[in-house]
Amino acid sequence: METFFQYNRYLHITAGVIGFFVAPVALAVRKGGAAHRLWGRVFFWAMAVAGTTAIAGAQHIHSLFLLLTAVFSLYMAGFGYRSIFLKPLAWNARVAAFDWAVAGTGLVVFAGTVAYAFAAGNVPVGVFGALGALTAGRQLRGYANAGHWAKTQWLLNHISGFMAAYIAAVSAFSVTSLRFIPFPYNFLWPTVLGVSVIWWWQRRVRAGRAATAPGFGLSASPAPALHK
């Protein structure tokens, strides 16, 4: 059994390192291009592997923080990737039962996480739980308003989900490895920096200026091709 957890750890580290370096590349290249689709897929699967192996590893070392961070990262990566398929919700009110179920389950899980964090006084777990609950709640509200989405809503969800997954991964690395940074700053700095980037980027999308932002230009056929 120890051999399994040892290999699981190696796989987790490998996937985490790949995701850590690939995410900035996917953000920097032209959106909708072949490079963006390629590195976007690599990042998604790296986060999927890193999150899955983190869940297994958390059980072994009894780390609740690692477990909940892994769940948050997996959920956000899935949210960002799934948003690519939900562009039709701007004009089509049909929401798949799968999407309702995932968002509903996420809301319950993250709300429970917030409750636990409040009782235990665990700030990092509480922050991730609150962000997850907020995201799941907004998903459910968005599904209820399907057919009336803004045309760029899928894009806002796409970047928010992938960036949040990246923030969680960097935060986990910072907390577990950058021991020279005192708590809670080792946890907070990736969140503060990452949320600022998300906020800045979303403002440009809503203002229709994303095409003028270096590294964030939109092509005529953006990220939907990622799943091909």
pLDDT tens string 21-74: 998 888 888 877 888 889 999 999 999 999 899 888 877 777 777 888 889 999
Give the CA radius of gyration of the chain.
18
Predicted confidence (pLDDT) at residue 216 exceeds the cutoff of 80: no
Q: Which residue has the higher pLDDT, 58 or 140?
A: 140
69-92 pLDDT tens trace: 889 999 999 999 999 999 999 999
Banded model confidence at residue 211, pLDDT cuts 50, 70, 90? very low
21 to 14, 69, 131, 169, 209: CA distances (angstroms): 11, 19, 24, 11, 27
